[in-house]
Amino acid sequence: MNILLLGAPGAGKGTQAELLQKKHGWTWLSTGDMLRRLAGQMTPEKAHIERLCAIMAEGRLIPDYLMVMLLEEELQRPCYEKGFILDGFPRTDTQVWQLEKMLSEKDKKLDAVILLTVDEKAVLARIEGRRSCPKCRAGYHLTTQPPKKKGVCDKCGTALMQREDDTAKTLTRRLEVFRIQTAPILPHYKRGDLLTEISGTRSVQQVFAEIEKALRAIKKKRKT
């Protein structure tokens, strides 16, 4: 299946994408992770990458033309053929129609769009406590999902990192950007009868069970 996960910062998109990938073998494509990987390749001559880091650190969106170009290139990789979980794209109207164009050119479509809703007040604690593995991308939280050994990834032993944009100040901007630029794309998916809204405020496992239930219902509907 090709799944799109939508939701505000900290809604749990990455957490759920990791679980879906593990269970079903669909490839998780996070545009945020993709950009952070690119930023990690920064060299003095790559001034455009430096600009990209500054935009992300401020919590603003990368320009559509650049984002579309990067995603188009990424989607060429064979790993996405068996199904994908798109996390963080689209975030603007332009990205919505560019994604549709990209998929239809490959004779593909989205099978499900899951919107994870979350109380903005609960998000700050999630964001400030988030840690992630730069090597295998496993996600943690200092209190709700701590690693067995402090600061070290359970899966590959790499030192965990905190994202540069995970500060209270940047989160306020990211939430505002979500409300102003991304929330307006939701009616498009509601109209297409593709969208399932799931509360992301319950435990990770409860949210995962709800997503699985929604995906089973979609598969069943397709068969009838």
Under the rule (CB under 5 A), what is the footprint of Mg ion? 14
Pairing relationship of beta strands 2-7 and 139-141 according to DSSP bridges: unpaired
- Closest distance to ligand AP5 from the beta carbon of 223 (Å): 30
Q: Considering CB distances under 5 to 8 angstroms, the limit depending on partner class, which of ligand AP5, Mg ion, none binds residue 144?
A: ligand AP5
- Please answer whether residues 152 and 176 qualify as being in contact, where contact means their C-beta atoms are separated by less than 8 angstroms: no
Sorted by sequence, the CB contacts under 8 Å of residue 132 that are 6+ apart come out as 14, 138, 139, 140, 160, 161, 163
> Among this protein's residues, is 202 annotated catalytic?
no
What span, in angstroms and rounded, lies between the C-alpha atoms of 153 and 140? Answer: 9
In the chain, the amino acid numbered 14 is: G
> Is 137 an annotated catalytic residue?
no
Selection from ligand AP5, Mg ion, none that 139 binds (CB < 5 to 8 A by kind) is ligand AP5
Q: Which residue is nearest to ligand AP5 (CB)?
A: 32
Contact present, 162 and 131 (Cβ < 8 Å): yes
**108, 135, 163, 173: the active-site residue:** 163
Closest approach, Cβ 32 to Mg ion, in A, equals 5
Q: Is position 55 an interface residue for ligand AP5 (rule: CB under 6 A)?
A: yes
Give catalytic residues, as residue numbers: 13, 91, 130, 163, 174
